[in-house]
Structure 1
Amino acid sequence: MGFDVGYYVYLPPGYDTSEDRYPVVYHLHGGRPGGENKAIRLSRFIDAAIQKGTIKPTIYVFPNGGPISWYDMPELEHGMGESVFIDELIPHIDSTYRTWGTREGRALEGYSQGGRGVTRIMFKHPDLFLSVAPGGSGYGPEKRIQENNGYESEKLRFMPLGYNAWDLAKVYSSRSDKPDLSILVWDGTKCFNYEFNLKYSAYLNELGISHEFLSIPNVSHTAAGSYEVEGDRIMQHHQRTFDIYRPR
């Protein structure tokens, strides 16, 4: 876009004193517009998990999702949030930091608006990620987009048609060559998106898309609150994949 876009990166203990390569988790923030600082508070949970040995040292990246977070909106100034992430940030991270540089060592998660972004991106680009974990996602608005000719509201339309979590899941499920995805859908039981997360999980089952569903008791719509209760389980979801494919 001819414009500098920021990100935060968490480098684990030992990164600066070793030559090791590390797996990477990309966390997509919630809310609109984008801001690379919106989810960095989660880094304290990540650091604590590494320090106590719950997960192995891992790089976490917190990008900026653009004016309509994680959507490509070419009619808006600096509006290519998804493409900047996929086409520019991921190659930049792999060339700048000591990552594995492979699908098996690259995970994707996010919360709320970021969970919507994770869901669309994982089904559009399953060749880039193996472990994925959308949380607190607004599958209700995604359903409105699907059923109303791309309109989320009277003033906001997403194009092309089919650019939503429901249709993209169906397209993915119909692919004969689809790469496997290790999917964890998670949400708090007091979140206003919880019922639609249950509906989306049932929809994935109907499509034959294997996944886990993590209910987080008594947590409202908050990424930090979800991590406070079940952050270790979310991080360990990615870690299981990393452990399988970790270079010897």
Structure 2
Amino acid sequence: MKNLLWLIFTFSNTLLFAQTRVDTIEVYSTSMKKNLKAAVTTPASYSKGSEKFPVLYLLHGGSGSYSDWHQKVTEKDLVPRLAEEYNLIIVTPGVGPASYYYDSPLMDSVRYETYLISELIPFVDKNYRTLAKKESRAITGLSMGGHGAVTLSAKHPELFIAAGSMSGVMNIDTRLWKVQEDFRALRVQSQKAMLGEINYDGPSFNPYTAVGLVSQMKSNGIALIIDCGVDDFLIETNRQIHQLLVENKTPHEYIERPGAHTWDYWTEALPVHLFFFSKYLERQ
């Protein structure tokens, strides 16, 4: 079916969050000709009136799922708790396993920038009571999702007031990753299939990687928070983008703390990001 589909299921919550709601929606992507799922969490106050709400788009990592932030965090019901505490809507989209939230110039099946920006966000704004404006919308994510959040906000500053990254792939150049060679080879092969031959070296880099968009980050004025564990295999990519942002005088919050590429780390990081975003999101 080429029309947008909306299939809603309600996850069961603990008694504490009995009035919050988590819908699973399915949206047809006309750009990729396939259905994609997302979870939409609304606070208790959503069902009590006509109030409109700010929205956080919360992205998963490589080989992940739209349900990861609900099922893999080490604090049960973390997303519903934060939706309730900050009185906002949280959307967790699902995308391809190694797609990095960009549009491939070579593959019609990889149009995740178009999907997020031109299909999912308008769908959520149409079907939920959102404050459908830049000043009330933020985006963040983990690993591949951190890359997506930072790059999408840099390329579409008209849509977001703030963006963040947790343990993000701030540079898709795998030479900076502390990984085994077989994993590196898989990622190089995947990137080449989606992007072809691109420039991985600075200072210009390429438009498909976060470090290649630091000039846009400087000019668009979006509030940025970037954090990474000191034992994370992506720490050097995070230090690299931090240095580039310092050099071009882009204001941003940068955090290094103990931790690795784990759900323990991301469970602790998400409340920090919500606190940061709460300083910028407008509520009317």
TM-score normalised to the size of structure 1?
Answer: 0.82
Find out whether 1:83 has 2:118 as its counterpart: no
Give the C-alpha shift of residue 108 in structure 1: 0.3
Contact 1:169 1:204 in 2 (8 A): yes
Residue matched to 1:23: 54
Q: How many residues align?
A: 230
Task: Give unpaired runs (5+ residues) of structure 1.
Answer: 146-151
Closer/same/farther in 2, CA of residues 144 and 80 from structure 1, 3 Å limit = farther
Q: Which digits, 9 at most, give the CA deviation of each residue in 1:27-68, with x for residues without a partner?
A: 111013x632233335822333455xxx42110001112352
Task: Give unpaired runs (5+ residues) of structure 2.
Answer: 1-31, 177-186, 199-205
Q: Aligned equivalents of 1:208 and 1:228: distance in 2? A: 30
Find out whether 1:238 has 2:283 as its counterpart: no
Contact 1:45 1:227 in 2 (8 A): no
Q: Which digits, 9 at most, give the CA deviation of each residue in 1:11-40, with x for residues without a partner?
A: 1112122211111000111013x6322333
Contact 1:66 1:80 in 2 (8 A): no
Residue matched to 2:188: 153
- Pick one of 123, 136, 142 that aligns with 2:154: 123
Q: Aligned equivalents of 2:105 and 2:236: distance in 1? A: 32
- Pick one of 67, 78, 81 that aligns with 1:45: 78
Q: Give me the identity figure in percent.
A: 26
Residue matched to 2:93: 63
- Pick one of 244, 261, 270 that aligns with 1:221: 261
Give the C-alpha shift of residue 5 in structure 1: 1.5
Q: Aligned equivalents of 1:50 and 1:75: distance in 2? A: 38
Residue matched to 2:134: 103
TM-score normalised to the size of structure 2?
Answer: 0.73
Runs of 4+ in structure 1 deviating by more than 6 angstroms, as ranges, are: none
Residue matched to 1:194: 235
Find out whether 1:164 has 2:209 as its counterpart: yes
Q: Aligned equivalents of 1:246 and 1:96: distance in 2? A: 18
Closer/same/farther in 2, CA of residues 15 and 201 from structure 1, 3 Å limit = same
Find out whether 1:204 has 2:239 as its counterpart: no
Q: Which digits, 9 at most, give the CA deviation of each residue in 1:190-247, with x for residues without a partner?
A: 2111233122211111121110012232x2102x3124334322111111112xx322
- Partner of 2:34, secondary structure, is coil
Contact 2:142 2:266 in 1 (8 A): no
The one-letter code of the counterpart of 1:192 is F
User: Once superposed, what is the RMSD of the aligned Cα atoms?
Assistant: 2.5
Q: Aligned equivalents of 1:163 and 1:196: distance in 2? A: 14
Give the C-alpha shift of residue 141 in structure 1: 2.6
Q: Aligned equivalents of 1:181 and 1:118: distance in 2? A: 12
- Partner of 1:5, secondary structure, is strand
The one-letter code of the counterpart of 1:156 is Q
Q: Aligned equivalents of 1:216 and 1:25: distance in 2? A: 24
The one-letter code of the counterpart of 1:58 is L
Q: Aligned equivalents of 2:190 and 2:128: distance in 1? A: 40
Give the C-alpha shift of residue 179 in structure 1: 3.0
- Pick one of 167, 170, 174 that aligns with 1:136: 167
Q: Aligned equivalents of 1:232 and 1:216: distance in 2? A: 15
Q: Aligned equivalents of 2:248 and 2:148: distance in 1? A: 20
Residue matched to 2:18: none
Higher alpha-carbon Rg: 2
The one-letter code of the counterpart of 1:48 is R
